[in-house]
Chain A
Amino acid sequence: DAMVIQNPRYQVTQFGKPVTLSCSQTLNHNVMYWYQQKSSQAPKLLFHYYDKDFNNEADTPDNFQSRRPNTSFCFLDIRSPGLGDAAMYLCATSREAGPTDTQYFGPGTRLTVL
């Protein structure tokens, strides 16, 4: 029944070592989002794809990039993780990008940077 799947649930990487987080969806939704949630903070939108159109938030660090090879999959690449990038990374989807569209979240991937 899982609709938004994130793998792995826990990821440990070393300072400066590139890491990729993955997200897949079975909902066939057009929009996929990546959020960063640091401890005791609210989720913060990093970027999203509307179909193949990529939309980056203005304050998303250049260190963070994303790929969406097809409708079902979306990846978050962190090129050179720093200690400050340790967080929960949440993937979400929505059918469209309208003001009434519900976002469906995955369980998140908790990233630890050593």
Chain B
Amino acid sequence: DAKTTQPNSMESNEEEPVHLPCNHSTISGTDYIHWYRQLPSQGPEYVIHGLTSNVNNRMASLAIAEDRKSSTLILHRATLRDAAVYYCILSEGGGSNYKLTFGKGTLLTVNP
């Protein structure tokens, strides 16, 4: 079962930063934190992942709490194309047992 908790929905205005929170209080020391997003009528796409340190890429930043029990995905300037369901996922297992278990995600609405 999914081990993350996210708000059902959030709203943002275009060109403003968005902070999407995720709680994962039962995270183990070897679990990576992944974020994927799913635009309407498309398959999910990878956004970012991290273990302990904050991470940045061209799409977003990932801020991970020191105790790793929560994290925040940061979109620095939201655009209309960022409207999607954002999933925070803990990678589990390895080898043939590795899998991503999607939770309910956060539906992000971006207002023009």
Partner-B contacts on A (CB < 8 A): 4, 41-45, 48, 50, 53, 55, 90, 92, 97-108
Return chain B residues, CB-CB under 8 Å to A41. Answer: 104
Q: Is the interface of B mostly helix, strand, loop or mixed?
A: loop
The A-B contact count (CB < 8 A) is 57
Q: List 23 A-B contacts (CB under 8 A).
A: A42-B103, A42-B105, A45-B99, A45-B101, A50-B95, A55-B96, A55-B97, A90-B44, A99-B31, A99-B32, A99-B92, A99-B94, A99-B98, A100-B32, A102-B46, A103-B36, A103-B46, A104-B46, A105-B43, A105-B44, A107-B43, A108-B42, A108-B43
Partner-A contacts on B (CB < 8 A): 2, 30-32, 36, 42-46, 49, 87, 91-105
Given contacts A45-B100, A50-B95, A97-B96, list 11 more A-B pairs with CB under 8 A.
Answer: A4-B43, A42-B102, A42-B104, A45-B99, A90-B44, A97-B95, A100-B91, A102-B46, A103-B36, A103-B44, A106-B43
